[in-house]
Amino acid sequence: MAGRLIVFKIGSSTLVDAEGKLDRPFIRSLCDQIVRLRDAGDRVVVVSSGASAAGRDVLGFSERPSDIATLQACASVGQTALTEAYAEVLRERGIACGQVLLTRRDVVDRDGYLNARNTLTRLLELGAVPVVNENDTVSVAEFTFGDNDMLGAIVSGLVDADLYIIMSDVDGLYTANPQRDPTAELIDVVTEVDHNISAMAGDSASSFGTGGMSSKVRAARAMMAAGIPTVICEGRRKGVLLDVAAGKKVGTLFQPQSDGGHEMGRKLWIGLAEVVRGTLVLDEGAARAVLGNGASILPVGVTRIEGDFASGEVVNVTSPAGDLIGRGVVRYSSEDMGRVRGLKLDVIARFLGDDAAVPAIHRDELLVF
């Protein structure tokens, strides 16, 4: 099938060699696969980690620095080396490479989100290969993505991707940690990320990466909600991008249950890009209504609130057991939510007026995971 838009994310631990330096022969093999995908009619966006690791090599650090200023200096030096490593090989094939640096601050604002989408879309229209990375040189804690797995998911939502590939240092999601449990088995397909699947995700042991399997599963769950198939696979497997794109049985496929249209862009922005300020805990009935019927969240179904948030900010929505159901824009402040939780809308209207009697989160502003 030609004409798809494929986003792939590659982690630092996969990009560097045993000495912690950028593995340029491996990057060349990646670019060779990108060229073959493009020859087949596909468009490709690269979400690449590795800037800090590359900078550490250039600046002579044998271990990851612990202070923010030095880490950001490493990222600054490394971003040039990282992008040039891709650009040099692609240039030989007559393909332009465009660097796109993002922080969460760039996409939590709706205008910023649209600007980022327009830039990426235009690069693709012009035949360039965008190489996206987090702008670690200026990002601060509140506005970091935390790991590039979620950055890749946000980019996939931005460009309305047809496939998201997370290239890892392991084969995919196992029933247990294969390094510790020899009976662990690779899971071929996941159609629902429930508590059991989440519990199977362990952490990465790499000193170069920041995201373990749990972050990859969170990103895949978000993509399933968006209707975008996601594959977690071993990045150094020969020809892995081509095999995944061809539909071969590689890694773990997170397959959306519905082949319907992707979620609206605003819902993806809410669910993936916005900074979460708090949590609404639902009762069983409200949780079933949201998951089964796509219902709005009414104050009567909220049993507990966590955090300090204002009206219009984004909060998590969880089941009574604490499982993440979704994420949405809340229409009450945490103070007001504390007053109206557990109450029906007609009761709220009687005491606070009709204008105050609104859903806690309207279904049009709720991304259900």
* pLDDT tens-place string over residues 337-364: 999 999 999 999 988 888 888 999 998 8
CA separation for the pair 305, 341 (Å, rounded): 9
H or E element in which residue 274 lies: none
pLDDT for residue 274: 67
Instruction: Kindly write down the DSSP assignment for every residue of 70-104, as one continuous string.
Output: HHHHHHHHHHHHHHHHHHHHHHHTT--EEEEEE-H
3-class secondary-structure state, position 281: strand
> Mean pLDDT for the chain?
85
Q: In the chain, where are the structural domains located?
A: 5-265, 275-368
Neighbours of 285 (CB within 10 A): 10
Q: Which fold has domain 275-368?
A: 2.30.130
- For strand 97-102 and strand 129-134, is the pairing parallel, antiparallel, or unpaired? parallel
Indicate whether 211 pLDDT > 50.
Answer: no
Backbone angles phi, psi at 242, to 5 degrees: -65, -40
| pLDDT reported for residue 123 | 96
Q: What is the pLDDT of residues 15-64, one digit of tens each?
A: 888 777 888 999 999 999 999 999 999 999 999 987 777 888 788 887 77
Residue 202, pLDDT score = 58
pLDDT score of 131: 94
Among 105-109, 110-114, 139-143, which stretch is predicted with the lowest mean pLDDT?
Answer: 139-143
Distances 307 to 107, 212, 254, 304, 362 between C-alpha atoms, Å: 22, 26, 31, 10, 20
CATH no. for 5-265: 3.40.1160.10
pTM: 0.78
Nearest to 88 by CA among 1, 27, 6, 20: 27
- 261: burial class by Cβ within 10 Å (0-12, 13-18, 19+)? exposed
Confidence of residue 144 (pLDDT cuts 50, 70, 90): very low
Please provide residue 10's backbone torsions phi and psi, each rounded to the nearest 5 degrees. -120, 130
Looking at residue 204, what is its pLDDT?
43
From the list 299, 320, 319, the residue with the least C-alpha distance to 368 is 319
For range 147-158, the mean pLDDT: 85
* Residue-wise pLDDT tens digits, 270-320: 777 667 899 999 999 999 999 888 899 999 999 999 999 999 889 999 999
d(CA 143, CA 185): 36
Contact 108, 274 (CB under 8 A): yes
**pLDDT, tens only, 4-13:** 999 999 988 8
Return all residues near 321 (Cβ < 8 A) that are at least 6 apart.
195
The Cα 361–Cα 369 span in angstroms is: 15
Sheet holding 324-329, edge to edge: 302-307, 276-282, 314-318, 324-329, 366-368
Q: Distance between CA atoms of 106 and 123, rounded to whole angstroms? A: 18
Picking from 248, 179, 269, 207, the residue whose alpha carbon sits closest to that of residue 63 is 207
Cβ-proximal residues to 240 (8 Å cutoff; 6+ apart), any chain: 33, 167, 233, 234, 250, 251
How many CB atoms are closer than 10 A to CB 292? 8
In the chain, the percentage of residues whose pLDDT exceeds 90 is: 46
- Examine the pLDDT at 188 and tell me if it is beyond 90: yes
Contact criterion met (CB below 8 Å) for 228 and 262: yes
Label residue 308 exposed, middle or buried (CB < 10 Å: 0-12, 13-18, 19+): exposed
